[in-house]
Amino acid sequence: MLKVGQQAPDFDLEDESGNRVRLADFRGASAVVLMFYPADNTPGCTKQLCAARDDYDRYQAAGIAVFGVNPGSAGAHKRFIDRHGLRTPLLLDRGGTVARAYDALMPIPLLTVINRTVVGIDRDGVIRFYERGIPTTGQIMEALGASPVA
């Protein structure tokens, strides 16, 4: 399992619109939060990504880029975004390669099932927050050195 204080694994993924997102592009410029979630439009995932939507301006004001990550398709991600008015880009992790690098897969042989995991990465590419489940925006922001107050 990855630990706070370790260098975050690099990644290069596309979002639901085909835009490339690389961790290296944020170094020195912005902190990054990766929200690994099991599936689009399920109750827990909807709750998690809608919370990120509701707090999007807080993240932006603190210089934190937030992304949802799962192996779903671009079409499924677009429908999820449209249905819930999400503002967070959703990254396509085909085959769970990035989830595997971030220890965010459930140990189920031959299946790619995401273990809900949130990772906060500072501007230097160091993991400052790593937690399973649905932590609050305040917890994430505080770990990244940003004011957790609304």
Measure the CA–CA gap between 68 and 146, rounded to whole angstroms: 20
Residue 50 is a catalytic residue = no
List the structure tokens of 9.
Answer: 């694994």
Specify whether the CB–CB gap between 85 and 55 falls below 8 A.
Answer: no
pLDDT one-digit tens code per residue, 31-89: 999 999 999 998 899 999 999 999 999 999 999 999 999 998 999 999 999 999 999 99
Out of 45, 64, 105, 118, the active site residue is 45
pLDDT of residue 148: 57
Measure the CA–CA gap between 20 and 140, rounded to whole angstroms: 24
Name the residue ranges covered by the structural domains of the chain. Answer: 12-22+29-143
Measure the CA–CA gap between 129 and 20, rounded to whole angstroms: 24
Query: Taking the model in full, what pTM does it have?
Result: 0.92
Measure the CA–CA gap between 92 and 88, rounded to whole angstroms: 13
Provide the CATH topology of domain 12-22+29-143. Answer: Glutaredoxin (3.40.30)
pLDDT one-digit tens code per residue, 83-119: 999 999 999 998 889 999 999 988 766 666 788 999 9
Specify whether the CB–CB gap between 130 and 2 falls below 8 A.
Answer: yes
pLDDT one-digit tens code per residue, 117-148: 999 999 999 999 999 999 999 999 999 987 65
